[in-house]
Chain A
Amino acid sequence: MAGTRLRRLLTTAALGAFVTTPAVAAELEVIHWWTSGGEQAAVSVFADEFDALGGDNWIDTAIAGGSNARAATMQRILGGDPPDAAQFNISRQYEDLIEADLLLDLTELAEAEGWRDFIRPAAILAVCERDGRIFCVPVNIHSWQWAWASIPVFEQAGVPLPKNIDEFLASAPKIQQAGFIPFAIGGESWQHSGAFAVVLLNSLGRETYHRLYRDKDPAVARSPEVRKVFETFRSLKQFSDEGSANRNWNDTTNLVITDRAALQIMGDWARGEFALAGEKPGVDYECIAGPSEQPYLSTGGDIFLFPKQDDPEVEAAQLKLASMMVNPRVQALFNNAKGSLPIRDDVDLSLADACMQKGLALLQNPDTVVGDPINFVTEDTNGQIQDLFAQFWADDSLTVDNAQEQFAQIIETAN
C-alpha cells in the first residue's frame, strides 16, 4: 500500500521535472454547435489534439443549434468579451466581423504553411479572404446534394430506386399505396430551403445556378426552369406526412432508418444517423448523389475564426490552433469522426464508407463542385429566401407565380 503511494508520488515528481510548462499557458475558449453524438466525437479530436500539443488548453463552449451558437458569438464579440475561437459556416455570416477589424489576421500563418496550395476547392478558402488577407480556417466540407433512400421500402413498394426527382415523383403514388410516407421532410425552415436548393441545382446546372446566386441575376429567378422547380417542390408536398410540421431533421431521418418513409433530401451529415443506427449503405439504405444522373457536390461546411485578443500568449495559442486544424493527420481523424470531407487531398480516409467515397470522387472534378447559396448571399438574404420557401411549402394559397416573383425580387435586391 505504502509502496503504491510512494511510486505515485515519485511519478508525479518525475513528470513535473520533465514536462516543460511555459510560463503562461493560455486557455482558449471555443464556441461551436457540435452537440450530437457523432459531432461530439469529432470536436473531441480537435480538443484532445490541441491539449496534447502542450501548454495551452481547449475550453469547450458547446451551444446547441447553429443559429444560437452564432448569435452568442456575435453578441459576445460586440459586448467586448469575445471567445478565443468560434465556429461558423462556410458563408458570408462573419463578413461584418472582418470589416469591423475584429478578427485575428491569419495571413502570415496561411502563407507560411501554403494554405492556398492545398486547401481545395479554392472557393472554401475564398470566403475567409478579404483584400488578399485570410481571416478564418475552413475545417471540413459538407454537401447538401444528397437523397437518402430506404431500400426495403422501395422493394416492398415494388419500384426501383429513383435516379432523379422526376423518377421519384412518378413512383411516389405507388409507395404511398404500399402504406409508406414517400417523402420525409421536417418542419424547420432550413430543411425546406435546403431541399429546395437541391432540386434547384439539379435542374439549373452549375453555370446557371452560379448566375442566380453568385451574380444575383433576377432573370434566372424569373425563368421557366425555376418555375418548374417551384411546381416540383409543391408536388413533393402531397407525398409528405401530417407530422412533418415541427419535426427536426434527425427525427425525419429516423423515419427512413426505420423504414417508415422512402426518401429524404438532406445533407451528408445524415449519414452519421444511419451509421449510428447500424445501417449499411447499399443494403439498408442508399445515398443517391444529386439526386440526379449528373450529380453536383455543393461546398457547405464549417470554418473557425479567431476574434482579436490583446494577450500575445492567447494570440500565439490561437495561431497554433488554426495551424493544427489544417494538419493532415488531424484532418483525417476529425473528418472520419464527423463524416465530412477533408479540406485537403493528402489525407488518409481509409475509414471512409461507400457514400463518402462517392462524395470524394465528385470533389475531384472542379466542374461538379458548386458553392452553397450561403457562400454568395448574406444571412439577411438567406433568411428572406428561407422564409419564402418555408411559407411556400406550408401555405398552399401562395401561388407559384407569386412565390417566384417574390424570389426574383429577393435576388434583385440582394447584395
Chain B
Amino acid sequence: MIAVGVGLYVVGIGYSVALSFTNSKLLPKFDTFVGLANYDRLWSTGRWLISVENIWLFGLLSIALNMLLGFLLAAFMDRRVRYEDTFRTILLYPYAMSLIVTGLVWQWMMDPGLGIQSAMQNWGFAGFSFAPLTNPDTAIFGVVIAGVWQGTGVTMAILLAGLRGIDEDIWKAARVDGIPTWRTYVFIALPMLRGALATAFVLQAVSVVRVYDLIVGLTGGGPGIATEMPAKFVIDHITNRVNVSLGMAAATMMLLPIILLIGINLFIDWRRKAVAMRAAT
C-alpha cells in the first residue's frame, strides 16, 4: 500500500519533470525533446522572475508576521482571558474561509472608492490613504495583509495548544524565581514550543508555496503583473495558454526549494542520530 502510494507520487513527479524537457503544448507528447529550452525561456520571462521575487517576499513577510502575531495572540489567550472561546473562534474563523472569499473581501476593503480609505475619509480624515492594491510597488504588501489575516488564527491555535501542554510546575518555578512573565514566555516557554512552532511553520510554508486562489481573488496578479505567483504561472500555462511543457518546467522549479528543505531536514535528522550514536558508544 505504502509502496503504491509513494510510487504514484514519484511516478507523477518524474512524469512532470520529463514533460518539461519536451515541447508538449496541449497534450503530453514525448516525441520531441528540446533539452533545457523551456527552462531558458522560463528564466528569461519577466512574469516568472517577478513571480519568484514575489513568493520570496510574500513568504518571508507573511510567515514572519504570522508566527509573531500568532505567538502574541496565543500568549494573550494563555493568560486565561475572559470570553476566550469567543476570541478563539473569531480569530480562527478566517482560516475556515475559502481563500477566494478572503481575496474578494480584502479587495473591497482595500479599494480606494469602497473600502477603508473611503470610510476614513468620510469620517473626516481627508488625508487618509490606504489603497495598496492600486500601486504595483505596494500591491504585494496588500497580499501579505490578506494572507496574514487568513493564517494567523491557526498559528495561534497550534501555539496555544503547545502552551497549554507546558507543565504548570515550570510556571510556578519561574514565579518563585521572580522571573517576569514576558521573560518566561520568551526564554522558557518558546524553546519548549519547538514542536508546535515547527508544525505551524510547515503549514505556513506549504500554503505560501501553493498560493494561488488568494491571488486570483484579490488581485488577479495585478496591477499589471505585480502580484503574480509561481503556482498561478503553472496553472495558467497548462490550461489557457496551452503550453504544458513550460508549465511543467515552472512546476519543477517550484519543486526544487521543497526538495532542498526536505534534504536539510533529513541531514539534520541524520546528524542528530549520528551524534546520539556516538554518545551511546
Residues of A within 8 A of B (CB): 67, 70-71, 74-75, 78, 93, 96-97, 100, 187-189, 242-246, 378-380, 383-384, 387-388, 390-395, 406
Query: In whole Å, how far is B206's beta carbon from the nearest beta carbon of chain A?
Result: 24
B46 touches A96 (CB 8 A): no
- Interface residue B225 (Cβ < 8 Å from any Cβ of A): yes
Query: In whole Å, how far is B215's beta carbon from the nearest beta carbon of chain A?
Result: 12
For B27, the closest partner residue in chain A by CB is: A100
Residues of B contacting A390 with CB < 8 Å? 222-225
Residues of A contacting B111 with CB < 8 Å? 243, 246
**A394-B223, A394-B224 are contacts. A242–B131 as well, Cβ < 8 Å?**
yes
| Stretch binding the partner chain, chosen from B63-71, B80-88, B194-202, B233-241 | B233-241
- Interface residue B242 (Cβ < 8 Å from any Cβ of A): yes
Query: In whole Å, how far is B122's beta carbon from the nearest beta carbon of chain A?
Result: 16
**A96-B25, A187-B222, A388-B46 are contacts. A394–B239 as well, Cβ < 8 Å?**
no
A380 touches B243 (CB 8 A): yes
Residues of A contacting B242 with CB < 8 Å? 74, 93, 96, 378-380
A96 touches B241 (CB 8 A): no
What are some 27 contacts across the A-B interface (CB < 8 A)?
A70-B239, A71-B240, A74-B26, A93-B242, A187-B220, A188-B220, A189-B221, A189-B222, A189-B225, A243-B112, A246-B111, A246-B133, A246-B219, A379-B240, A380-B241, A380-B243, A383-B236, A383-B237, A383-B241, A387-B46, A390-B224, A391-B224, A392-B224, A394-B136, A394-B222, A394-B223, A395-B224
| A-B residue pairs, 7 tightest by C-beta | A394-B224, A96-B26, A394-B223, A71-B239, A391-B224, A383-B241, A245-B223
**A394-B223, A395-B136, A395-B224 are contacts. A246–B47 as well, Cβ < 8 Å?**
no
CA A74 to CA B236, docked complex, whole Å: 13
Residues of A contacting B246 with CB < 8 Å? 380
CA A383 to CA B243, docked complex, whole Å: 11
CA A349 to CA B96, docked complex, whole Å: 53
- Interface residue B211 (Cβ < 8 Å from any Cβ of A): no
- Interface residue B226 (Cβ < 8 Å from any Cβ of A): yes
CA A242 to CA B114, docked complex, whole Å: 12
Residues of A contacting B46 with CB < 8 Å? 387-388, 391, 406
> Which of B26, B107, B237 meets A246, CB within 8 Å?
B107
Query: In whole Å, how far is A307's beta carbon from the nearest beta carbon of chain B?
Result: 13
For B25, the closest partner residue in chain A by CB is: A96
Query: In whole Å, how far is B30's beta carbon from the nearest beta carbon of chain A?
Result: 14
- CB contacts under 8 Å to A, within B183-226, are 219-226
CA A387 to CA B240, docked complex, whole Å: 14
Residues of B within 8 A of A (CB): 25-27, 45-47, 107, 111-113, 131, 133-134, 136, 139, 219-226, 236-237, 239-243, 246
Question: Once A and B bind, how many residue pairs between them come within 8 Å at the CB atom?
Answer: 93
**A74-B239, A100-B26 are contacts. A245–B225 as well, Cβ < 8 Å?**
no
Further pairs besides A245-B139, A380-B243, A395-B136: 18, Cβ < 8 Å: A70-B239, A96-B242, A187-B220, A187-B222, A187-B223, A189-B225, A243-B134, A245-B134, A245-B219, A379-B242, A383-B240, A387-B47, A390-B224, A390-B225, A391-B224, A391-B225, A395-B226, A406-B46
Residues of B contacting A75 with CB < 8 Å? 239
A393 touches B224 (CB 8 A): yes
CA A395 to CA B26, docked complex, whole Å: 32
A97 touches B240 (CB 8 A): no
A245 touches B241 (CB 8 A): no
Residues of B contacting A187 with CB < 8 Å? 220, 222-223
Residues of B contacting A245 with CB < 8 Å? 133-134, 139, 219, 222-223
Residues of A contacting B112 with CB < 8 Å? 242-243
CA A72 to CA B265, docked complex, whole Å: 39
Residues of B contacting A246 with CB < 8 Å? 107, 111, 133, 219-220, 222-223
CA A244 to CA B135, docked complex, whole Å: 10
Residues of A contacting B219 with CB < 8 Å? 245-246
Query: In whole Å, how far is A82's beta carbon from the nearest beta carbon of chain B?
Result: 13
CA A71 to CA B241, docked complex, whole Å: 9
B241 touches A379 (CB 8 A): yes
CA A162 to CA B189, docked complex, whole Å: 70
For B219, the closest partner residue in chain A by CB is: A246
CA A9 to CA B45, docked complex, whole Å: 69
CA A394 to CA B219, docked complex, whole Å: 13
Residues of B contacting A387 with CB < 8 Å? 46-47, 225
For B24, the closest partner residue in chain A by CB is: A96
For A393, the closest partner residue in chain B by CB is: B224
For A92, the closest partner residue in chain B by CB is: B242
For B29, the closest partner residue in chain A by CB is: A100
CA A387 to CA B51, docked complex, whole Å: 12
For A410, the closest partner residue in chain B by CB is: B45
